[in-house]
């Protein structure tokens, strides 16, 4: 066991705002924006303010007809994407070229088309005029280009392939073949129906998601982001390997307001990674802890990277937002528990200490600002009591303003509030592009029946085996989720991959008759694997961002982060095989037992993966512990008993052996 290293009393060096922005621009497409001056700066500023005010107006006084609400939302989003996001990542960011001004003008035309022609279009019953046809095609092109700039190439390629599939349906292999769609049908489907670009994803973006993004922007203005770091240090800093546990705690809290794994890494990691390195963690491991924890923030209720709102719409059945948040609670806690366990064993293996008294913040001063969490707690309480989601978010914004008045360091004045409205609208641009582009994918799936065809193919390929089907769906979800933001990857995976699980678990059953818990478990399965694509090599954007802070090797950081997040590779299987984790139609006793057995199982798996428990483990002991841990997690009584007995024996061997080796003090 390594000796504790002397650490200087100097403060841990945190990345500057400029360094954080440079990292975000490198690894987060949504942060790679222009910074222009002159008249265009004010056009963008007041335009984004108008975007937020439009959304607030509809949130307070009820939304416009669906097509108008969604196209205006889309028009605002695309207009400012072309003004803010350059066509190439390395293009000049101090000037807007003429072609982007033209594209922005075309986006205004598309965004206002339904408003101007609403009565005629509603009465035409799908009969398009020539101008309608060209506007529909223009909308598709603008959405694809907007998504490429603001979200990234992967989702654009997937959407383009789906459009090609819709057009060339007759030329596809037998199991994928359909009659094909001509350009007029595609234009009609995508822009003049509510099944394509104007479908469910952008519907959720133009209502719930936007208001919650505003809530997040106001929270940031109150200084809650830095407070999460301070609170995490105050509560976990002195524990064994404290900085790693601070990273886990802080990232879980940041996930309640952040919609991006990469942004979460840069925000909290710029503080926690230097702290971990200074106390003795290797660069790759320090980066991996932050990447794994930050990615888990997207799994954390209440916001879950905005995917919770989409789940409500996609699952249907009258399910409420609160039921989704409640179902996500235990899986999210198990995820962070798994990372906590492994970082604890790693710290014990290396002999790392917690922070000294000199390195700790003043706990009394930190706890005095606990009121900064009131807006988050208020939203949770409001939704628990049945308050509509949009109203809860609006009350949350008001709570932020009130709380900001009591925080002398970040007191909100009128200019701060206007800036928060602008920041919220700017944050929404990537979501608008992602949900509009995802709508293209959903539209093709609905029109062609591709989801069912792929589901049947996967089940057939797996020979009807539930474990093999789940494995294939896992691979598909990881691939589809690579490089896509939370909202987009959930839409894609739930549309393409989730039907395979439902086909296997409820064969030949109409969707409305499939048990709710089965539907929810399928959606959570693909959601989890779509999210952890961010830390799964080779495309592990969160891990790459963390390596930019730690100075470690990106691929090694990705491998370590995937290892630390092993819980995320296990929990989805648990959700499908043991749906009690979702707290749907179960007793308290069932929930308690499933949770306890899962945590005990994670202790065995964590010790086996790290190679340390109370002392260093031999290779065969590691295998035994991992196997016993998996037995505890597998939802069968006999496997739980076997796993518990084996883990108890291994614990006794470890405990007694360590006591004999090092004496009673070593156990502390």
Digit-coded pLDDT (tens) for 76-97: 999 999 999 999 887 888 899 9
What was the pLDDT predicted at 100?
95
Pairwise CA distance, residues 510 & 512, whole Å? 6
Taking Cα atoms as reference points, which of 7, 540, 543 lies closest to residue 286?
543
Three-class secondary structure of residue 545 per DSSP: helix
Rg (CA), the chain: 25
Residue indicated by tokens 């499908």: 576
Pairwise CA distance, residues 137 & 127, whole Å? 15
Pairwise CA distance, residues 378 & 275, whole Å? 32
Pairwise CA distance, residues 658 & 668, whole Å? 11
Pairwise CA distance, residues 466 & 472, whole Å? 10
| Secondary structure letter of residue 13 according to DSSP | P
Taking Cα atoms as reference points, which of 400, 395, 406, 333 lies closest to residue 373?
400
Pairwise CA distance, residues 655 & 660, whole Å? 9
pTM: 0.85
Q: Return the half-sphere exposure (C-beta side, CA atoms, 13 A cut-off) of residue 492.
A: 31
What was the pLDDT predicted at 166?
92
pLDDT lower than 70: segments of the chain = 1-17, 255-259, 303, 305, 483, 658-668
What was the pLDDT predicted at 154?
84
CB count within 10 Å of CB 145 equals 19
What was the pLDDT predicted at 6?
38
What was the pLDDT predicted at 7?
38
Secondary structure element (H or E) that encloses residue 416, with its range: helix 414-448
Three-class secondary structure of residue 3 per DSSP: coil
What was the pLDDT predicted at 254?
74
């Amino acid at each position: 066991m390594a000796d504790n290293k002397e650490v200087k009393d100097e403060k841990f060096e945190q990345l500057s705002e400029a360094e954080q922005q440079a990292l975000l621009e490198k690894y987060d497409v949504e942060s790679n924006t222009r910074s222009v001056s002159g008249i265009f700066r004010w056009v963008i500023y007041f335009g984004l303010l108008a975007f937020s005010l439009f959304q607030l107006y509809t949130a307070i006084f009820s939304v416009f007809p669906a097509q108008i609400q969604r196209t205006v939302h889309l028009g605002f989003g695309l207009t400012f994407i072309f003004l803010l996001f350059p066509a190439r990542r390395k293009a000049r960011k101090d000037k807007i070229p003429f072609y982007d001004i033209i594209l922005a003008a075309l986006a205004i035309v598309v965004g206002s088309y339904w408003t101007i022609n609403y009565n005629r279009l509603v009465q035409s019953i799908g009969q398009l005029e020539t101008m309608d046809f060209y506007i529909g095609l223009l909308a598709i092109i603008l959405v694809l280009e907007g998504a490429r700039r603001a979200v990234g190439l992967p989702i654009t390629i997937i959407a383009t392939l789906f459009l090609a599939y819709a057009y060339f349906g007759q030329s596809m292999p037998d199991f994928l073949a359909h009659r094909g769609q001509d350009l007029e049908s595609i234009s009609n489907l995508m822009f003049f129906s509510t099944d394509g670009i104007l479908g469910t994803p952008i519907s959720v973006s133009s209502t719930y998601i936007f208001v919650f993004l505003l809530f997040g922007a106001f929270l940031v203005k109150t200084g809650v982001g830095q407070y999460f770091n301070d609170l995490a240090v105050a509560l976990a800093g002195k524990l064994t390997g404290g900085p790693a546990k601070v990273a886990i705690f802080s990232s879980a809290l940041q996930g309640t307001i952040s919609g991006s794994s990469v942004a979460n890494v840069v925000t909290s990691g710029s503080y926690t990674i230097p702290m971990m390195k200074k106390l003795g963690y290797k660069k790759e491991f320090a980066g991996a802890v932050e990447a794994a924890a930050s990615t888990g923030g997207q799994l954390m209720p209440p916001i879950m990277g905005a995917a919770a709102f989409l789940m409500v719409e996609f699952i249907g059945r009258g399910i409420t937002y609160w039921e989704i948040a409640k179902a996500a609670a235990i899986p999210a806690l198990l995820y962070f528990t798994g990372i906590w366990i492994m970082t604890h064993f790693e710290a014990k293996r290396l002999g790392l200490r917690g922070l000294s008294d000199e390195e700790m913040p003043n706990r009394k001063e930190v706890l005095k600002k606990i009121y900064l969490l009131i807006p988050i707690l208020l939203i949770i309480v409001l939704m628990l009591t049945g308050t509509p989601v949009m109203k809860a978010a609006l009350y949350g914004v008001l709570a932020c303003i009130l709380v900001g008045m009591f925080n002398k360091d970040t007191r909100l004045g009128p200019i701060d509030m206007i800036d928060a409205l602008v920041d919220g609208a700017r944050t929404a641009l990537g979501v608008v592009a992602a949900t509009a582009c995802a709508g293209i994918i959903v539209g093709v799936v609905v029109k062609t029946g591709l989801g069912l065809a792929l589901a049947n193919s996967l089940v057939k390929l797996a020979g009807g085996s539930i474990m093999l089907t789940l494995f294939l769906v896992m691979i598909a979800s990881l691939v589809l989720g690579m490089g896509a933001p939370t909202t987009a990857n959930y839409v894609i995976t739930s549309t393409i991959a989730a039907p395979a699980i439902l086909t296997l678990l409820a064969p030949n059953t109409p969707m409305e008759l499939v048990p709710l818990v089965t539907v929810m478990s399928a959606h959570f399965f693909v959601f989890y694997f779509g999210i952890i694509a961010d830390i799964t090599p080779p495309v592990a954007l969160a891990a790459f961002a963390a390596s930019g802070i730690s100075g470690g090797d990106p691929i090694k950081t990705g491998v370590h982060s995937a290892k630390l997040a092993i819980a995320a590779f296990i929990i989805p299987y648990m959700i499908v095989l043991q749906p009690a984790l979702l707290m749907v139609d179960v007793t308290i006793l069932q929930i308690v037992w499933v949770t306890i057995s899962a945590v005990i199982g994670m202790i065995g798996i964590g010790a086996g993966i790290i190679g340390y428990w109370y002392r260093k483990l031999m290779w065969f002991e590691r295998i035994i512990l991992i196997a016993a841990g998996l037995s505890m997690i597998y939802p069968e009584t006999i496997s739980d008993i076997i796993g518990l007995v084996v883990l108890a024996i291994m614990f006794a061997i470890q405990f007694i052996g360590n006591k004999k080796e090092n004496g009673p003090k070593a156990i502390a």
